[in-house]
Structure 1
Amino acid sequence: MSERAPRVVIVGAGFGGLAAAKRLVGKRVDVTLVDRRNHHLFQPLLYQVATAALSPADIAAPIRSILSSAPNVRVLLDEVVGIESSSNQVILDRTGPLAFDWLILSTGACHSYFGQDHWASHAPGLKSIEDAVDIRRRVLLALELAETETDATRRRRLLTFVVIGGGPTGVEMAGAIAELARRSASNDFRSITPRCSRVVLVEAGSRVLPAFPPPLSLKAEQALSELGVEVLVNSPVSNVAGDHVASGRVQIPAHTVVWAAGVQASPAAQWLKAEHDRQGRIFVERDLRVPDHDRIFAIGDTANVPSMDGQALPAIAPVAKQQGRWVADQILGRCAMPFAYRSFGNLATIGRSKAVIEWGNYQQSGFIAWLIWSLAHIWFLVGFRSRLAVGISWLWNYFTYQRSARLITDEAVSSSRILGREAGA
């Protein structure tokens, strides 16, 4: 009788989990990939769904389709509620215990409001397609309601958009909203002009894009200003309400607020009673194993992995993908060295034709950087039918200033939520 193939359970089909699964395709292991959603999402372009530049299907693909040609990989739509490490079992919400010989935790992260969770209803974050569609609905509905609003105070609030957090997501989101509200929408509306709308980016630190070199941060801030975005640095948020954002003594009347200021890891550390950092990321060994759990790995946003300078590696897709492939090689016995991340630089776009790029000592900004950013993101849409669709959409948006995905759903509920009163009142 032949020996049973090792059972590998991967929790989470994000960049890290999917990279690990692909690495194990066709190998002598039985892989089970568990995710509570049926699709893999290309999160770096999620903000473009939120600002109507792309449709959800352009940046997402069914997990089963991606792995359809992998006979040794099984996909389960379920949610993990606990781990019994003593018996090597993952506890699933619907299907119960799932045994493993090796476990890879790539469970991602959610929004963190730094103890102010009641802000979430007023300032949604951007981590899922549902989040993006909700933000898109709020932005587009605010424009529609402002078109016919006769009260000047309400109209100003409807046309004020606040993005909290000056990292790449916040910068990209603020620039995209500014382009939508000040150029694309003003072409189609009769009473909204580019000067009507106000976009404010609020950052608690001393500069936007703090992970980039200071000169590129300055370039990004200048590009945002050219788009009409007001950048407020050294401005930690003290309150978020239904009709305003407060930073110290400054209040910004606004009905549309987007949260891009912080994330919190999944409960994986609690499942294992493992030591973790303030964001909930598990402190792992140099080989990405969870301490005291030789057959359990944590990767991506789930793990706190120190870089060469001692700082934790950033929660970005390239880190998770490299970790996923590396852990798969560990399981296959191909790699005995500690994990070492190979950085390919940082990229961020600031609206139309402008971006900043850092590749080691190479720094670039402006149109060339934007071209590189665009080509890189299309290239990394590997496995998606939407490479061509995204490229065509971007070309169309670039030459026409039109957003092809300006759809509002659930209008009555959204208008009530935005205005704090019954729709049409």
Structure 2
Amino acid sequence: MKQRILIVGAGFAGMWSALSAARLMDLHGHTDTEVAVLAPQAELRIRPRFYEPNVHKMAAPLHDLFAAVGVTFIQGTAERIDAVGKTVEYRDAQGETTIRAYDRLVLASGSKVARPRLAGIEHAFDVDEINEAVRLERHIHSLGQLPASAARNTVVVAGGGFTGIETATEMPARLRKALGADAEVRVIVVDRGSEIGAALGDGPRSLIAEASAEVGVEWRLNSSVASIDADGVTLADGQRIAASTVVWTAGVRASSLTEQVPAERDAQGRLHVDRNLKVIGQDDIFATGDVAYAAVDDAGNYALMTCQHAIALGRSAGNNVAASLLGVDPIAYSQPKYVTCLDLGAWGAIFTEGWDRQIRFVRDEAKKIKTEINSVWIYPPAANRAEALAAADPMIPVVA
């Protein structure tokens, strides 16, 4: 009877886990283990690009890729993990409940924007999932059909972190495309921080402020949203901003499936893992991507909820879960080089290196790198067995 590696999730970490597990099995000529991916759809949704227009095009099909490397795809949504019985209960495409057993589990179920219990939060859009990002895009296109008003021409972005900055600096151009090149538009970032771009550190901060001013993004600092309604937001200090569009980007939390694994979690719900990405205290469960609280080096740095980390985490998790069944040595996860490439709309971009975010490239030069990342680097490999398996080697650095 075949053993089964079950991978929950087909995002960056889940896809690369599947390819990497298949790679190690192939290297050892092992054909008695099924590598299966359980996810609602066999496609990689390019989440880092959801702040851009044309979101409906930002998904890459995975059926042919999985078939090429011998990975089984199971369409469904995981609902319950039984760590003792080693099963996952899921709801299939027809809505029926099914149980699938595993010998090893890789949890790669990702994360979601943390929407708070806030009055009127249902009025806010987000760029977290493709359906929500598409809904926002359709809404922006529809604004031109409304009577001209300050509210129609105003977008409030709640949260001044990485996603909030990229969403806000892209928004003036998106609004003018919908409302006309001469439209007087306003984009306002509401952020708890005391300085523009504070979440990105000292290095990029002044450039984020410069770019914001140039593209037309205002910041309300030391501020937070108290409530939202169909016509705008009320801030904690009582100030009112009339806006037909509010985008929530503040806070991210790991998939709630982590709560079903008996193990320690961090403040964002991520499971504590060892250097091989095995969940501490669980012999048969690995965690990767946004659900893993994983050390990237020996200097005290931990993986962030980014595709940059998810790709390497996935390759390592897939290799190591396969190694645990083959009885061969794992390869400890390590990702010492960290970079950021922050899109700043028409101004350009900022490319930094290191955890202290030292500036390396700015404006057009950085924008070219960002375009390459978003259009090439983060997409799946071709559905060619040899090429795909080679690309899944955990020793390949995501950032050279």
User: Which residue of 291, 298, 311 maps to 1:302?
Assistant: 291
User: Which residue of 278, 288, 291 maps to 1:289?
Assistant: 278
Q: 2-side partners of 1:210 and 1:65: how far apart?
A: 43
- Secondary structure (helix, strand or coil) at the match of 1:69 reads helix
Letter in 1 for 2:3: P
Residue 317 (structure 2) pairs with residue 327 (structure 1): yes
Does the Cα contact within 8 Å between 2:8 and 2:38 map onto a contact in 1? Answer: yes
- Secondary structure (helix, strand or coil) at the match of 2:50 reads helix
Q: Which residue of 2 aligns with 1:177?
A: 171
Q: By how many angstroms is 1:30 displaced?
A: 0.7
Q: By how many angstroms is 1:312 displaced?
A: 3.8
- Secondary structure (helix, strand or coil) at the match of 1:127 reads coil
- Secondary structure (helix, strand or coil) at the match of 1:369 reads helix
Q: By how many angstroms is 1:23 displaced?
A: 1.4
Cα deviation 1:310-342 (Å, max 9, x = unaligned): 354210002111111111221233554542223
Does the Cα contact within 8 Å between 1:171 and 1:208 map onto a contact in 2? Answer: no
Q: Which residue of 1 aligns with 2:372?
A: 375
Q: Which residue of 2 aligns with 1:89?
A: 87
Q: 2-side partners of 1:227 and 1:269: how far apart?
A: 40
Residue 317 (structure 2) pairs with residue 318 (structure 1): no
Q: 2-side partners of 1:14 and 1:171: how far apart?
A: 23
Q: 2-side partners of 1:269 and 1:136: how far apart?
A: 31
Cα deviation 1:264-291 (Å, max 9, x = unaligned): 2111222123322232222223322222
Letter in 2 for 1:180: R
Does the Cα contact within 8 Å between 2:10 and 2:37 map onto a contact in 1? Answer: yes
- Normalised to the residue count of structure 1, the TM-score between the two structures is 0.79
Decide whether aligned partners of structure 1 residues 36 and 209 sit closer, same or farther in structure 2, where only a CA change above 3 A counts.
farther
Does the Cα contact within 8 Å between 1:163 and 1:200 map onto a contact in 2? Answer: yes
Decide whether aligned partners of structure 1 residues 111 and 382 sit closer, same or farther in structure 2, where only a CA change above 3 A counts.
closer
Does the Cα contact within 8 Å between 1:326 and 1:335 map onto a contact in 2? Answer: no
- Secondary structure (helix, strand or coil) at the match of 2:146 reads helix
Decide whether aligned partners of structure 1 residues 288 and 156 sit closer, same or farther in structure 2, where only a CA change above 3 A counts.
same
- Secondary structure (helix, strand or coil) at the match of 1:8 reads strand
Residue 175 (structure 2) pairs with residue 205 (structure 1): no
- Secondary structure (helix, strand or coil) at the match of 2:151 reads helix
Q: By how many angstroms is 1:349 displaced?
A: 0.7
Structure 2: tracts of 5 or more residues without a match:
383-400
1:109-258 map, 5 Å: 109-116=111-118, 119-146=120-147, 149=148, 155-182=149-176, 185-187=179-181, 193-194=182-183, 196-247=184-235, 248-258=237-247
State the superposition RMSD in angstroms: 2.2
Residue 64 (structure 2) pairs with residue 74 (structure 1): no
Q: 1-side partners of 2:254 and 2:120: how far apart?
A: 18
Decide whether aligned partners of structure 1 residues 80 and 175 sit closer, same or farther in structure 2, where only a CA change above 3 A counts.
same
Q: 2-side partners of 1:249 and 1:268: how far apart?
A: 37
Letter in 1 for 2:87: Q
Q: By how many angstroms is 1:298 displaced?
A: 0.9
Letter in 2 for 1:104: V
Q: By how many angstroms is 1:9 displaced?
A: 0.2
Q: 2-side partners of 1:239 and 1:268: how far apart?
A: 29
Q: Which residue of 2 aligns with 1:422?
A: none
Cα deviation 1:221-266 (Å, max 9, x = unaligned): 2101111111222212222222222222322111100011112211
Q: 2-side partners of 1:210 and 1:325: how far apart?
A: 32
Letter in 2 for 1:318: Q
Does the Cα contact within 8 Å between 1:225 and 1:231 map onto a contact in 2? Answer: no
Decide whether aligned partners of structure 1 residues 236 and 310 sit closer, same or farther in structure 2, where only a CA change above 3 A counts.
farther
Q: 1-side partners of 2:352 and 2:103: how far apart?
A: 40
Q: Which residue of 1 aligns with 2:391?
A: none
Q: 1-side partners of 2:381 and 2:133: how far apart?
A: 19
Q: 1-side partners of 2:299 and 2:339: how far apart?
A: 16
Decide whether aligned partners of structure 1 residues 273 and 241 sit closer, same or farther in structure 2, where only a CA change above 3 A counts.
farther
Q: 2-side partners of 1:269 and 1:211: how far apart?
A: 26
Q: By how many angstroms is 1:184 displaced?
A: 6.7
Does the Cα contact within 8 Å between 1:178 and 1:227 map onto a contact in 2? Answer: yes
